[in-house]
Amino acid sequence: MHGDLSMFEHTSRGVVYMAMGMSYLQEAVVSARSLRRQHQCPILLFTDQDQGAVAEGIFDEVVPLERSGPLPHRDKLVAMRRSPFSQTLFLDTDTFVAGSLADAWELLERFDLAFAGDRGYVDHFPADPEVPDSFKEPNLGVVFFRASEALDGLWQDALDLYDQLVASPAFGAPSCFFAQPPFRLTLYRSSLRFTALTDEYNCRFANYGKLNGPVRVLHGRLPRARHNEGNLSWVGEQLNATHVPRVFFAGRHWALMPCALPITHPYRAQPMPSHNRIEWMPVAVAMRRWLGTLIRNALRWTSRRGS
């Protein structure tokens, strides 16, 4: 593992991760192990961590990557642009591969990019009269793409626009800016062919969404449990208890089941077991910290009142 990308020049398919910081590196290891169980393809890691901290046998190559900003969002665009593969799957570190991805690779026979759409709790779209709000923001946590000069230009344009937006006072502190808004704007103006992945390939299980079929990729972090293979496998099992159409939010999900007596409606919403894994020790630690902060603030307030 010496950061040599030339060894992959004639490799058709591979997976790329980018992990800046030890916590993200640990997540990447969990994700890559889940990927290994489903696919045998080269896995490349870009990271700012010492190579001695990377477990042997997980990644085929580890490439040093220096931070280019306060947060690693810009570095994600850099890592995707530097992929040496003809066809690449980029995965965020907080993903977990729960099923086969074989048919998603086939999309790259017709399209330059494939990704799921993103819809945050609140949209943060940079104002641009040429790009309508109805053009959905791509989620860059699970992205299939094929190499070309046009795509390389798209990455560079997104990086340039990122830097422009970060420098603009309208967007506040640079550390708060993400890579997806500039990528969305540059993608709209490009001539590249792209398509949408179904939600099963980018299941934002900790937020809200819909499913119809087996979950292939989990994407997110459990709010009240450790980010490990056991907990994430359990979440996948809960969400895949049935494959009929279903919706989920806030750790709960409902399945659309046929009614035995379809008098008023042919379907009914059946509650399914919660997929909100809770480990009480971390919760207790968080509560203790919260109570400590509350007590300290109360004491400060009391002392100020007394003076």
* Contact in structure between 34 and 18 (CB atoms under 8 Å): no
* Contact in structure between 237 and 248 (CB atoms under 8 Å): no
Instruction: Report pLDDT digits (tens) over 45-70.
Output: 999 998 776 767 889 999 999 988 77
pTM of the full structure: 0.87
For residue 150, pLDDT beyond 80: yes
- What secondary structure letter does DSSP report for 203? B
Q: Which phi and psi angles does 135 have, rounded to 5°? A: -80, 110
Say which residues have a Cβ less than 8 Å from residue 280's Cβ, sequence separation at least 6: none
CA–chain centroid gap for 36, Å, is: 18
User: For 100-128, what is the mean pLDDT?
Assistant: 86
For residue 277, pLDDT beyond 90: no
Rounded CA gap, 47 and 17, in Å? 8
Identity of the amino acid at 80: M
The yes or no reply on domain 6-197 and CATH 3.40.50.150 is no
More confident residue, 170 or 149: 149
Rounded CA gap, 31 and 222, in Å? 14
Say which residues have a Cβ less than 8 Å from residue 191's Cβ, sequence separation at least 6: 150
User: Exposed (0-12), middle (13-18) or buried (19+): which is 198, by Cβ within 10 Å?
Assistant: middle
pLDDT band at 175 (very low <50, low <70, confident <90, very high): very low
Tokens linked to 85 = 């593969």
Instruction: Report pLDDT digits (tens) over 192-206.
Output: 999 999 999 999 999
Rounded CA gap, 214 and 246, in Å? 11
Say which residues have a Cβ less than 8 Å from residue 135's Cβ, sequence separation at least 6: 184, 188
* Contact in structure between 17 and 62 (CB atoms under 8 Å): no
